[in-house]
Amino acid sequence: MTFTKFATAAVTALAMTGGALAASHSETDNPMVGGAAMFATKNIVENALNSADHTTLVAAVQAAGLVDTLMGEGPFTVFAPTNAAFDRLPAGTVEMLLKPENKPQLTKILTCHVVAANAMSDAIMGMIDDDGGAHPVPTVGGCTLTAEYTPDGQVWLKDEQGNYATVTIADVKQSNGVIHVIDRVLLPAN
């Protein structure tokens, strides 16, 4: 399995159903994210809209015009930063990136969180093992992340600026791929 190409996506307004909020982990066979059930029968955008922890990511995907791509067939692996991850950026960064004139920069950052593959955590850890402890992960945005993991199985991603993000919720299955929730925004070299 290789990580290549990207999928562009933006988030359109989709209705959140009460049933989605009431479903438990056992009913969906998926981890809960942002207080909401995630359904393997829904696409990345449909599920992200239900997560209270991903409202900034959803707004960014909309501003970048990437909704249709991430609702597409895939497969995609999305490393999804939480609102708290965006809050770790310097003050004013998110507001600046959401301006229409900064769409190319925002798109580059977002596409550095996506790979064109359906990579579950066990597959990622296998690739890390095969590569002697660090696996290069080319993204659809042209960035190369480095995947590593700790002895207790915690997966980390290093961006091109040397920052590490931890996968806090792994293997959230989607109809068009998988989401891994991360605690930091991954940034390109420039």
Q: Which residues contact 140 (CB under 8 A, 6 or more apart)?
A: 4, 5, 6, 7, 8, 111, 114, 115, 116
Q: Tokens 């981890």, residue?
A: 31
- Which of 177, 148, 141 is CA-nearest to residue 162? 148
pLDDT at 18 over 50: no
Query: Token pair of 69, please?
Result: 């791509």
> How do residues 98-153 score in pLDDT, each as one tens digit?
999 999 999 999 999 999 999 999 999 999 999 999 999 999 999 999 999 999 98
Question: Where along the chain do its domains lie?
Answer: 18-182
- 74-97 mean pLDDT: 96
Give the sheet arrangement for strand 164-174, strand by strand. 114-115, 76-81, 177-182, 164-174, 155-158, 144-149, 135-138
Please state, in angstroms and as integers, the Cα–Cα distance from residue 112 to each residue in 16, 106, 157, following that order: 28, 10, 11
Bridge partners (DSSP) listed for residue 153: none
Query: Token pair of 133, please?
Result: 């402890």
Q: How far apart are CA 30 and CA 11, in angstroms?
A: 21
pLDDT at 126: 96
pLDDT at 27: 54
pLDDT at 12: 24
Query: Token pair of 64, please?
Result: 């970048």
Query: Which CATH class name applies to 18-182?
Result: mainly beta
pLDDT at 28: 60
> Residue 5: which region, alpha, beta or left (left: phi > 0; alpha: psi -120 to 50)?
left
What pTM was computed for the model? 0.85
